[in-house]
Structure 1
Amino acid sequence: MARSVLQYLKYQYPDIRVLYVEDEKFSREKLLRVLNRRFAHIHVAIDGVEGLQLYQKYKPDLIIADIKMNQMSGLEMIKKIRTQNEKVQVIVTTAHEDNDFFVQSIENNVNHFILKPIDLDLLLQAIQKSVYQIQLEKELEKQKILTRSILDFQDNLIFVIENGEIVEWNQAFTNITGIGIPKNNQTSFQSQFLSSFFVEDPHYFYPKDKGRWMEEFFANERKVAKVRWKGPLGNDYNYVMKAGQIPGTKQTLFVLTDITDLEKESREREHLAMLDPLTSSYTRQKFKEILASEMRRAERFDRAFSLILMDIDNFHTLNDQFGQTAGDKVLITVSTIVQQRIRECDMFARWGGEEFILLIPETDGKNAMLLANSIRSIIEKYEFLHIGNVTASFGVTEFAPGKTKNELISEAEQALADSKNNGRNRVTLYTKER
């Protein structure tokens, strides 16, 4: 084994594979002696047909070929090889000096041509230049493979745009978009292709003109934005998209960091923060935000809505008599009764202590009274464990244009107070004539 390694190391170019094609035996054997002292891997053919077969089998790095041969000329062989590999180094030898030969050589991307009889120094110089180019290409290929491995190792979506075309991307990008990993000679994709992936959401970047999404994105000088993209199975992903110019190029690098799980956790925390931990109804603060939004909508579209303020009767006495735990169970049960009775669009919140409040969209005061009475009746008839029957009082008011939020809530409180003062377990609609 050690001996074969030493033999291998004696060559000047041990890693370069050569295809040598020459039909004239004397010239072939003479040059082959020169090549054998420099290359460890040489494949020899006597015409273009055999040369093409050997190329397809061994994929050499360097081709040295004569032009005129019997079955297939060297230029014809090179032309066929060029359809498979544009970068393989080619040195041609010829006894012809006519212009047609040089034109064909240029058309077939011949790297060097040597006139016969061959000047050995010129040939060796051409070989040295070709080998240098081959080694450079191999090193670049290694760097590409390394870069590709690094890119594909990333969970982030990474892609590069140049002159409006996506020219490079990683596996994570492929997983979302379905675009295959770029390979040799693979065509690029227009950047507009990505416009269909943006999902409209007021909390995320969404281009007004999807065909010009890049221009709109870069209108933000920070070159960063949160975006929503649709996934391959119809699910949405949330990303932070960042972009920057690659120095010394016309290329722009985009990196999309997946924040889907973080956003989900944030929404869950936000949702929990706006819910009363005991009754799972909205908090007072959240209800105020909802009320302000509904008032704007009602003013704009001339739509009715009503508020229902309710209070559990004699709750403090109940708490003192049966204990706080029993009182909490009453609050939870009442909250459940209400939430099961109302519509999905109705908003229910714990207003404070034993008070709850309801916002009923698209509902006037009279119909809000009917709903309040329905809830009152269900609570009254419900048998609370170890406690028995519990009642609740209700105050109802209807929104009218020009009313403020404080006025609306004050009207509901006054109507509730009237229910309490008139014997409890009843519903009162606020009127100005009270």
Structure 2
Amino acid sequence: MNQQNFHKFFTLYFIVFGIIISCFSVIVAYTFEIKDIEIDLNRKAKEIFQIKNETILKPTFENIDNIAKSLAYDNLTKKFLIERNSLNKENLNNIFLAVANSNSIIMQARLIDKSGQELVRVDRNKENQQAFIVGEKDLQNKYHRDYFQSISKLNEKEIWHSKLDLNIEHGKIEIPYRPTIRVGIALFENNQFSAMVVINLLTNNLFKSLASSSIFDCYIIDENKNYILHPNQEFAFNKYKNIARDISIDFPDGLNNGIFTFSLKDSLKNEDNAILILKTKKDYKKELLKERTNVAVIVFLLTVALSFIMAIFVSKTPRILQEKLLKANKKLNEFTLIIDKYVITVTTKIDSTIVEASKAFEQISGYSKEELIGKKISIISNPKQDKMIIKELWKTILDKKIWEGEIQNKSKDGKDYWLNQYIIPKKNAKNDSIEQFISVGVDITAKKELEKFASIDKLTGIYNRRMLDTFLQKEIEVAKRHKDNLSLIIIDIDFFKLVNDTYGHLVGDNVLKQLSKIISENIRISDIFGRYGGEEFLIICTKTSEDSAFILAEKLRKEIENFRFEKVGYKTISLGISSLKKDDNIELLFKKADEALYGAKKSGRNKSIIYR
């Protein structure tokens, strides 16, 4: 073979060899790319399910469960069920209304007695609209409804979730359709079922959030393979609309090959036994395949071009027979969903130095990651936080156990916020020592604001009667258990009616506010102060004898006596004092203080008198 033929042969040999190697490399790379697509889709499906389950479904139903419990166990609810008077009814209506307006997905909140009759009902027509109280004449009897029968058979403190269905009014499905789920809790008196609280949720926006995905078509089916959620709204809740839709129409090859299923029983604790199905969108998968094909073609063409160059080079230099093959396998790793955008997490060293923080943590704390990394977790500490809770927290996590509880923090701009936190010790696999602490939190600030709203007197900003009764009962139990002193001071403004009659209620309200401020500034941190009603105020003096309480009462009386109120001038107060005895209960302790107050007023007012 002459040199020219050798050159042609060698050139052709390397060109053909290069093309074969190129084809083989591209085929292998393309095969791995296709496999990576399936792995990537599986990962993304799990991430999407995790986000929808942990940040949408679970928090929604945990929040509604807590609201249902709060309404059911509220003292005013119990009191209304016993007394059934119009004042209690009005107050209870207002509480139900406030709760509904605090959460825009609540469609109905109802109190139903054991006969099935609605006693209190608050409705909302659409999400983000204001809720309203349903009038007495429009209240219905729900005895024969399935959910009434189910809830009436619950055990005490047991929560019931209905199936996801369409709302029914007067025996017919509402049109336009209103997807809903009911949360119910039974109330008991003397171990006998007496009433129930039922909350209906508007789930349109909830379903929109669940269905939202640029990658997957989202379906939810029940255990009988009826659709609850379907990309085509016509087939959503097909069982209730009497529309037949066999699942094989949407999934002719079964639930595999780019289709991912996840159980929702952990979040939707009802009889649906619902399953979330994520079906890869055709356009998305087609785009991925097109992208991978384009990459493979480019790699192939580059490899062939390189083979030509190498063949020409080798044909000119026969001694150089070993050439490196072009590696044409480039994996494309996409990270499109960032979990830390939605979950409030922070990681610290064992000495509480922050080493990592999520975007959600940055957002709620107001600090940037640069401001957080390297700082102690105390940067968000709130001076109002109970120190005993923090002490118990550290004891638990240093014992290598998970701590769960509510923590009050302070953001960079000084605002208070609350988290329900799980703090998890991360241990060294070799020696079992603690390396880091990982904190995962859920924002419960709105829930805490609602609790505060229910316990504060709107006019004066101090505790209301409901909270005073709760505190007094608790402090009596504590004082008896530890054999501590406990005293009660009842305060009444002398001739307050004359203020309202002479100057009007706005001036009277201003007097109540100013008096509340004076007393708040002159009592101890341990004293519990609130408005008991009208012009009557109450101070619970913990670990205080009647003589010490008298000294405090006189101090307050003189402060008020020497204060000049706007427009009204000088006013005085009368005070009645009682102290807890061995056999006293809340009613007797209050009665004694009230009698002492009556004595102070009868003997000329502007006096402090101890019950003897």
- Matched residue type, 2:529: F
- Give distance in 2, aligned partners of 1:329 and 1:237: 32
- Give distance in 1, aligned partners of 2:411 and 2:465: 41
Counterparts in 2 of 1:157 and 1:230: CA distance versus 1, 3 Å? farther
Q: Does 1:326 align with 2:496?
A: no
Considering only CA atoms, is the larger Rg found in Structure 1 or Structure 2?
1
Q: Does 1:307 align with 2:477?
A: no
- Matched residue type, 2:563: Y
Counterparts in 2 of 1:135 and 1:277: CA distance versus 1, 3 Å? closer
- Give distance in 2, aligned partners of 1:179 and 1:229: 20
Given that 2:574 and 2:606 are in contact with CA atoms closer than 8 Å, whether structure 1 keeps it comes out as yes
- Matched residue type, 1:398: S
TM-superposition CA deviations, 1:105-160 (whole Å, max 9, x none):
xxxxxxxxxxxxxxxxxxx8xx89956764455435654785698699889689xx
Unaligned runs of 5+ in 2: 1-8, 57-337, 348-354, 359-376, 378-384, 423-438
Given that 1:156 and 1:258 are in contact with CA atoms closer than 8 Å, whether structure 2 keeps it comes out as no
Percent identity, aligned pairs only, is 24
The residue correspondences of 1:21-100 to structure 2 (distance < 5 A) are: 32-40=14-22
Q: Does 1:280 align with 2:445?
A: no
- Matched residue type, 2:578: T
- Show the counterpart of 2:498: 317
Given that 1:345 and 1:361 are in contact with CA atoms closer than 8 Å, whether structure 2 keeps it comes out as yes
The residue correspondences of 1:342-421 to structure 2 (distance < 5 A) are: 342-421=523-602
Q: Does 1:267 align with 2:448?
A: yes
- Show the counterpart of 1:139: 37
- Give distance in 2, aligned partners of 1:389 and 1:427: 18
Using structure 2 for the length normalisation, give the TM-score. 0.37
- Matched residue type, 2:20: R
How many residue pairs end up in the alignment?
270
> What is the deviation of 1:258?
5.5
Q: 1:176 aligns with which of 336, 343, 346?
A: 346
Counterparts in 2 of 1:145 and 1:36: CA distance versus 1, 3 Å? farther
- Give distance in 1, aligned partners of 2:479 and 2:345: 45
Given that 1:205 and 1:227 are in contact with CA atoms closer than 8 Å, whether structure 2 keeps it comes out as no
- Give distance in 2, aligned partners of 1:281 and 1:399: 24
The residue correspondences of 1:7-22 to structure 2 (distance < 5 A) are: none
- Matched residue type, 1:176: V
Higher relative contact order (CA 8 A, sep 6+): 2
Counterparts in 2 of 1:146 and 1:232: CA distance versus 1, 3 Å? farther
- Matched residue type, 1:304: N
Given that 1:282 and 1:348 are in contact with CA atoms closer than 8 Å, whether structure 2 keeps it comes out as yes
- Show the counterpart of 2:99: none
> What is the deviation of 1:267?
1.3
- Show the counterpart of 1:114: none
SS in 2 for 1:38: helix
Q: 2:517 aligns with which of 318, 336, 354?
A: 336
TM-superposition CA deviations, 1:247-300 (whole Å, max 9, x none):
xxxxxxxxx99631xx21221222122111111121111101000111111112
The residue correspondences of 1:180-259 to structure 2 (distance < 5 A) are: 211=400, 213=402, 238-239=419-420, 259=442
- Matched residue type, 2:442: I
Counterparts in 2 of 1:28 and 1:288: CA distance versus 1, 3 Å? farther
Given that 2:418 and 2:445 are in contact with CA atoms closer than 8 Å, whether structure 1 keeps it comes out as no
> What is the deviation of 1:206?
11
SS in 1 for 2:578: strand
Report which stretch shifted further, 410-419 or 139-148: 139-148
TM-superposition CA deviations, 1:47-89 (whole Å, max 9, x none):
xxxxxxxxxxxxxxxxxxxxxxxxxxxxxxxxxxxxxxxxxxx
Given that 1:349 and 1:356 are in contact with CA atoms closer than 8 Å, whether structure 2 keeps it comes out as yes
Q: RMSD between aligned alpha carbons?
A: 4.7
> What is the deviation of 1:229?
11
Given that 2:490 and 2:594 are in contact with CA atoms closer than 8 Å, whether structure 1 keeps it comes out as yes
Given that 1:148 and 1:170 are in contact with CA atoms closer than 8 Å, whether structure 2 keeps it comes out as no
Counterparts in 2 of 1:133 and 1:228: CA distance versus 1, 3 Å? farther
Counterparts in 2 of 1:311 and 1:146: CA distance versus 1, 3 Å? closer
- Show the counterpart of 1:12: none
- Show the counterpart of 1:291: 472
SS in 1 for 2:458: coil
- Give distance in 2, aligned partners of 1:374 and 1:413: 19
Report which stretch shifted further, 266-275 or 349-358: 266-275
TM-superposition CA deviations, 1:8-63 (whole Å, max 9, x none):
xxxxxxxxxxxxxxxxxxx998974543223449xxxxxxxxxxxxxxxxxxxxxx
Given that 1:276 and 1:350 are in contact with CA atoms closer than 8 Å, whether structure 2 keeps it comes out as yes
- Give distance in 1, aligned partners of 2:507 and 2:344: 57
SS in 2 for 1:425: coil
Using structure 1 for the length normalisation, give the TM-score. 0.51
Counterparts in 2 of 1:28 and 1:229: CA distance versus 1, 3 Å? farther
